[in-house]
Structure 1
Amino acid sequence: MNTTAPRHSVSVAATIVDSQGRILAVQRRDNARWEPPGGVLELGESIDHGLRREVEEETGLLIEPEALTGVYKNMRLGIVALVFRCRITGGVSRTSDETSRLRWMTPDEVRQNMAEAYAVRVLDALNDGPPAIRAHDGRILLHA
């Protein structure tokens, strides 16, 4: 095995939709950007456990993943993100050391407030089709 080979990081994110069709977004403390809740998996951590852990850490909410809705690669940083449509099963919403605000957004508000690379993840999760597979540079989509 080549130990000098480039490595990828794997992150997970949850698209949580309420009964009114609004999506839960978090505003990050470090850069004030709006994103779906989620984060980087720890080495040896399962995808399911990491998703639940990240959402609870950032929002205080307990969730149940319902479907994988997309796979996204940040080509500049080598981060592969797995996005899941989820439902809330418990907990109490709150901010955290990583999040300064939580907000329920309409799809139009998602388009207006999130960078394209994040908005597309949320909007793809609203579809019932097969998971989307996309690449981006951290802000905008890259088209083949």
Structure 2
Amino acid sequence: MARRDHYYDPDAPQANSIVVAVTVFAQDDEDRVLLIHRTDNSLWSLPGGTQEIGEDVSGTAVRETWEETGLKVKVTGLVGIYSNPNHVVAYDDGEVRQQFAISVRAKVIGGKLAGSSESAEVRWIHRDELESLPIHPSTRLRIYHGYDGDAGPYLG
């Protein structure tokens, strides 16, 4: 399903839903962050997705990372909670979601990098490469907060 992000856009459609999403900030031993190249909007992003009924946040993080990257992770902490009402996502079926994402920190414990129908490419990205990639501002914020782990969880 196609999507369009509206970020501080005065012409954005009015939100008609709010759904819990989970994103995963994982680093390797070289201080690189795990990113996927999304198929629905062609942007680079943290792995993640919608929490399903019967799942807890950690379960969503583990499932979504496995589905999108081929890697198994263990959740180790909280990066932050992102609920900016000025960020809405419009889908082609008429749903317009207000952002509500919980970003967690995780450690890779197994698997092998692999793309999926949601991720055209999966890569470990060096911090100095981030500025050259097309990344949504809200995702970029989560990545920076992930790298700034000593600051405590972000609430906003």
Structure 1 residue 90 and structure 2 residue 100: aligned? Answer: no
Q: Distance in 1 between matches of 2:83 and 2:21?
A: 10
**Matching residue of 1:120:** 141
Q: Per the alignment, in what secondary structure is the counterpart of residue 56 of structure 1?
A: helix
Q: Distance in 2 between matches of 1:18 and 1:48?
A: 19
Higher relative contact order (CA 8 A, sep 6+): 2
Structure 1 residue 54 and structure 2 residue 76: aligned? Answer: no
Unaligned ranges ≥5, structure 1: 1-5, 135-144
TM-score, structure 2 normalization:
0.77
TM-score, structure 1 normalization:
0.83
**Matching residue of 2:49:** 39
AA aligned to 1:91 is G
Q: Distance in 1 between matches of 2:138 and 2:59?
A: 24
Assess, with a 3 A threshold, how the Cα gap between structure 1 residues 66 and 32 changes in structure 2: closer, same or farther.
Answer: same
AA aligned to 2:19 is S
Sequence identity percentage: 30
Q: Per the alignment, in what secondary structure is the counterpart of residue 41 of structure 2?
A: coil
State the shift of 1:19 in Å: 1.0
RMSD of aligned alpha carbons? 1.5
Unaligned ranges ≥5, structure 2: 1-15, 89-96
**Matching residue of 1:130:** 152
State the shift of 1:7 in Å: 4.5
Superimposed CA distance per residue, residues 4-62 of structure 1 (whole angstroms, 9 cap, x where no aligned partner) = xx642000011111111111110011221100000011123211111100000000100
AA aligned to 1:33 is L
Greater mean alpha carbon deviation, residues 109-118 or residues 96-105: 109-118
